[in-house]
A and B are shown apart, each in its own frame.
Chain A
Amino acid sequence: MTPDPLLLQQHGLTRGEYQRILEMLGREPTLTELGIFSVMWSEHCSYKSSRVHLRKLPTTGRRVLQGPGENAGAVDIGDGLAAVFKIESHNHPSFIEPYQGAATGVGGIIRDIFTMGARPIALLNSLRFGSLDDPHVRRTFAGVVAGIAGYGNSIGIPTVGGEIGFDESYTGNPLVNVFCLGIARADEIVKASASGEGNPVYYVGARTGRDGIHGATMASAEFDDKSAEKRPAVQVGDPFMEKLLLEACLEVMKTGALVGIQDMGAAGLTCSTCEMGARGGAGVAIDVSLVPQRETGMTPYEIMLSESQERMLLVVTRGREQEVERVFEKWDLHAVRIGEVTTDNRLRVQHHGEVVADIPTAALTDEAPLYERPMAEPAYLADARQLSMQSLGRPGRPQEIFGRLLASPAIASKQWVYRQYDHMVRTNTLVVPGMGAGVVRVKGTQRALALSVDGNGRFVYLDPFLGAQLAVAEAARNVACVGGQPIGATNCLNFGNPERPEIMWQFARTVEGISAACRALDIPITGGNVSLYNETDGRAVLPTPVLGVVGLIEEASRIVRRAFTSQGDAIVLLGTGAAELGGSEYLKVVHGLVRGVPPALDLAREAALQRLLVAAISRAVIRSAHDCADGGFAVALAECCFGTGLGAAVDLPPVEADAGFGPIAALFGESASRVIVSVEPQRTADLLALAADEGVPAGVIGTVGGERVRMRVAGSGAIDEPLADAERIWSQAIGRYFEPQRAIA
C-alpha cells in the first residue's frame, strides 16, 4: 500500500525510509509508530548523515572513562574524580523563540550531565548572530542572553566562559551551543541503560503537554518564511523543576537502587525508552495512559512525541521502589511507575491496555538509516581562497584600524553579556568569563579545570580541514594559557543542509581536520552533537564546528590570567607572525571580505607551545599569558592591558607582505600558535631556555607599564594610544547597541 505522501512529508520520512519501516515491522505502522520512527530516524536523533564520518574521531585515551554513546563523556581528573561534560546545540528553537529556545538548551545539557551521576559545576556557551545593526538580530541576541541567564542563574550553575561571533550568515539562523561540566566520583558514573526483567520503569518530573511535538523533526529541516508558525514546537523551561530533579536524582543515585536513568530531551519519551532498552540489551513496555499529563485528551502519539521539558525516565531495582519514591517525595516530586523492563528487545507501548506501538528497539537505534551522502568541493572555494594585497588599495593607518577592531562586536568586551550570567555561584570560579578560558577549582583537591569553547566559521568556510584544526588548537591553547593540560574535548558541529554535496564535503573535511588535530595534540573527543540544516531560505550558515576543551590544572594556586600584573615586566612573544590576513577580522571589518586562506598550522609546533605554557606556569616562570586570535597581536596586547591600568610598549619583528601590508599583517594578521606572556625581568632567561628546549620561537618584544599602548613594527611607530581611550572603545561597543534610543529604532 502506498502511504499518503503528505503524511510522510509531515513526518520528514522519505518513501525509501517508509519502505524500510514496512520491512522491519512486516506490516503497516500505526500512526503512533509512524511518529516514533519519524523522530528516531530524524537527523537530530539518528545522525544518519554524519555517523559514517564521526567514526573517524579519536575517542579513546588513558584518561577517558566514558566516550561517545552515553548522555555525556567523562575523563579521569585524579583524586578518584571524573569530569563529565558535553556540548549541545539549540539553534533552531533559539531562532523561533530566543529566550525559551536558549533557556531550554541550557536545561537540556544540564540534564545530560546530572543523568551521569555528576554534580554540574560550570556552564559555557558559544553563540553566533548576524550583525547587531539589524534590530531583529539585537532582539534575538538579547533574548538568547537573557534565556541563558534566566535558566543557569536560577538553577545555580555558574556560566564561566564562552565566545560570541557575528556574521550575516547567522542572521536567520543563530547558533546557540551550550557546554556543561560536572564532577562525579569516577566509580559512581551512572549509565542510561535498562536491564533486569521486571524492573519497574518510572517517570518523574514535569507533566507531559503538547509542547515541542516534533521538535527533533523541526531541528532536522531548513527554515523558511513559515518558520515563525513553528513556535508551538518550542518548549518552555522551568528551571525550578529542573533544580528539584537535579537534587532528587543525585540523591536517588546514592541509594544504589537505580539501574539506569535518562532524561527526556529530543524525542521525549520515545527516545529515552528505546535508547535505554537498546543500550541495556532489553525491551521496555510502558502504558502511556499512566504518564502524568498537563492537558486532557492527549493521544498516545502526542504523549510519545512531546518534548515537554524537565522529565526523567528511571529504571529501578525491583523491590527497592520505596527507597526511590521516598527521595522524590522529599522534593515534592511524584515518581510514577509507567512500565517495566522486558527481555524481548522491543519497545511496546500500550494505551489503556491496547497496544499502540510494538517495535524492535534496534530498528529505532542501531539499525536506523545510515547515509553516505554525496560530497563535492564547493564551487565558491577556488575564488574565495584568492586574496591579492594589491586589490585592497593602500594600507590604512594602523592606529585607526586598531580603534575599529576594538569596537567590532566580535572583539569588543562582552561584559554586557557576562554581567547577566551568575558566574560566581558555587564559589569555584578562579577565572571569570571574557578572559579566555574559564577556570573552576575542584573543592576538596588542589586541582582546577580550565574550560574553553572556540570555533571560527570564516576559517572553516575558506578551508574546512585547516579551519577545524585551528579551532581545536585555539581551544586547547586557551586552556594551556591558564596552565591547563588539555585532557578531553567535546564538539558541536553546526552546518547547513547535508543533502547538498558541498555542505557534506565541508562536514567531512571538518571532521577529518578535528580528528587530525586531536590526534596530534592527544585530546580525545568524548562526545558531542551535530546540528545540520542550519539554513534559511536556502542559505547556509558559515560551517561552524565548536570545540569545547577541558584542561587539567594540577595546582590551582599556580594559574595565571591574561592580564598583565606588574609594571616593568618583560613582554615575550611566543611563536612568530607571518603575512596571514586570510579570513581575518581585519579583512572583514576594514574591507568587508571573507577571503584568502586561513593561517597555517604546524601541529607539532602547537603541541610544543602548549607543553611550554603548562611547564612555565606550573613552575611559576611567567605571570600572564594570552593567545593571539581575532584581531591578531594588536588586539591581544590591548586585552592584556585592559582592566589593569598598566600600558605596554613593544616593538614587533617585521613581517614580509605584498604592497606594503607588512605592518598590517604583523599587527592584525591572525597567525596561529602565538601567545603573549609577561615575565619578571630576572626570569626572562628561564623562560627563553624553556622555549628553546621545546623548540618554540620566543623573543622579548617590550615592557609592561605606562599609561599608553605603544606598538612599533621593526622600529617604526604604528600605534600609540592612551590605554584609557582604547579601553573605553572596547568596553562600550556592545552596550551602545542596547541604549534605549537605539533599541526603539
Chain B
Amino acid sequence: MKFAVVVFPGSNCDHDAYHAVKHVLGQDAAFVWHKETSLGGADAVILPGGFAHGDYLRTGAIARFSPVMQAVRRFAAAGGPVLGICNGFQVLLEAGLLPGAMLRNRSVQFQCEHVYVRVEQTDTPFTLACRQGQILRIPIAHGEGNYYAEPAVLEQLERNRQVVFRYTTVAGAVTDDSNPNGSINNIAGICSEGRNVVGLMPHPERACELPLGSADGLVVLESVVKAVTQGAVAATR
C-alpha cells in the first residue's frame, strides 16, 4: 500500500514517519508538499509532527489554509484513513476534522518522555491490529498536548466511543499521575465520527524499533496496513 506523508514547511517528524512506514514496515511512501493539491493516489495519509508554519500563533492554526488540506479533507470525507501525530493532531483539530482543542501542558514546559497509553477502541484503521485495552509504551514530545473539549463535546466523544487512546499507568489504570499534560479524561488520542480520521499526541513512529527504546508504536502503523490490504478501509474515488 502507499502512504502519503504531508510536509508542511515546519514539519520535523516527516522523515521519521516516512522511515517507519517505508523502511521498517516496507510499504510504499511519498512526501507530499503542503502546496500540492493532490495526495498522489495514496491509500493512507499521515500528518506528521513538528511546527507546521512555526506555530507562533496557535499550533496548527495556519496549516489548515495550506492547499494540501483541501485534498486531505476530501480524502477524509470519502472515508480514507488519516493519522495526525502530535502537530498533525493539532492541525486536524484546527481544520475541524476532529473536535476539541489543545492547551499548553499543565507543567507549562515542553515534555519529551515515554508514557503509557491504553488502546480504548480497536475499530479504527489505526488500532485494528491492537488488543482492546492493550498498553503501549510510546514517547510524547510536545508543549501543547493538554487536550480539551467542552462538556457537551466530551460527552459525545465518550458516548460515540471516539476516545481511542488514554494515558494510563503501566498496569492500565487511568490516574492523574499517569496523565503527562493535564488532558481532560486522560485523552491521548481520538477519532472522527466516521472513525477513519485519528489524531494522537504520542509518537508511534518513534517507537517502531527496539534499539530506540520501544517498538510498541509499530502496531498502530501495522493496523492501517492491515485495514487497507483487507479492504476494511478505503477512500471512495
Across-interface contacts of A150 in B (CB, < 8 A):
110
Query: What separation, in Å, do the CA atoms of A332 and B34 have in the docked complex?
Result: 12
Beyond A240-B53, A427-B19, A430-B211, whether A419 also contacts B113 by CB under 8 A is yes
Q: Which residues of A contact B13 (CB under 8 A)?
A: 156, 425
- B53 touching A153 by the CB < 8 A rule? no
Contact A425 B53 (CB under 8 A): no
Find A422's partner among B10, B141, B205, B211 (CB 8 Å cutoff): B141
Asked if A429 is at the interface (CB within 8 A of a chain B CB), the reply is yes
Given A240-B53, A420-B110, check contact A155 B12 (CB 8 Å): yes
Contact with B along A235-276 (1 / 0, CB 8 A): 000111101100100000000000000000000000000000
Q: Are A419 and B111 in contact (CB under 8 A)?
A: yes
Say whether, besides A154-B51, A420-B109, A422-B112, A427 and B12 are in contact (CB < 8 Å).
Answer: no
Known A153-B110, A240-B56; contact A427-B205, beta-carbon cutoff 8 A? yes
- Contact (Cβ within 8 A) B212 A243: no
Selected contact of A425 from candidates B16, B111, B211, CB within 8 Å? B16
- The chain A residue with its CB closest to the CB of B205 is A427
**B residues 97-149 in Cβ contact with A at 8 Å:** 109-113, 139, 141, 143
B141, A429: Cβ atoms closer than 8 Å: no
Separation of A40 and B50 alpha carbons in the complex (Å)? 38
Chain A residue contacts of B35, Cβ below 8 A:
330
Closest chain B residue to A155, Cβ basis: B12
Which residues of chain B are near A443, meaning CB under 8 Å?
19
Partner of B141, one of A243, A330, A425, A557: A425
In the complex, per-residue mask of B206-218: 1 if CB is within 8 Å of any chain A CB, else 0 = 1011011100000
B11 nearest in chain A by CB position? A156
A243 touches B10 (CB 8 A): yes
B19, A429: Cβ atoms closer than 8 Å: no
A371 in contact (CB, < 8 A)? no
Residue A564 is within 8 A (CB to CB) of chain B in the complex: no
Contact flags (1/0) for A137-158 with B, using CB distance below 8 Å? 0000000001001100111100
A421 on interface, CB distance cutoff 8 Å: yes
Contacts of A557 in B (CB 8 A): 211
CB distance from B210 to the nearest CB of A (A): 10
Contacts of A423 in B (CB 8 A): 112
Report B-chain residues with C-beta under 8 Å of the C-beta of A420: 109-112
Contact at B212–A430, with CB atoms within 8 Å? yes
Q: Is the beta-carbon distance between B212 and A424 smaller than 8 angstroms?
A: yes
**B65 vs chain A, min Cβ distance (A):** 13
CB distance from A544 to the nearest CB of B (A): 28
Question: Nearest chain B CB to A485's CB is how many angstroms away?
Answer: 20
Q: Which of B14-57 contact A (CB under 8 A)?
A: 15-16, 19-20, 33, 35, 49-51, 53-56
A238→B209 CA distance, assembly (Å) = 33
- Evaluate whether A240 and B20 lie within 8 angstroms (CB atoms) in the complex, with A424-B212, A425-B141, A427-B205 already known: no
Contact residues, B67-94 vs A (CB, 8 A): none
- Asked whether, in the complex, the Cβ of A424 is within 8 Å of the Cβ of B206, the reply is yes
Please name 16 pairs of A and B residues whose Cβ atoms are closer than 8 Å in the assembled complex, sorted by A.
A146-B109, A154-B12, A155-B12, A240-B55, A240-B56, A241-B54, A243-B10, A243-B12, A244-B9, A330-B35, A420-B112, A421-B112, A423-B112, A425-B206, A427-B16, A427-B208
The interface of chain A, by Cβ under 8 A from chain B, is 146, 149-150, 153-156, 238-241, 243-244, 247, 330-332, 418-427, 429-430, 432, 441, 443, 556-557
Given contacts A240-B9, A422-B141, A427-B209, 8 further A-B contacts (CB under 8 A): A153-B110, A154-B51, A156-B12, A240-B54, A243-B9, A425-B49, A425-B206, A427-B206
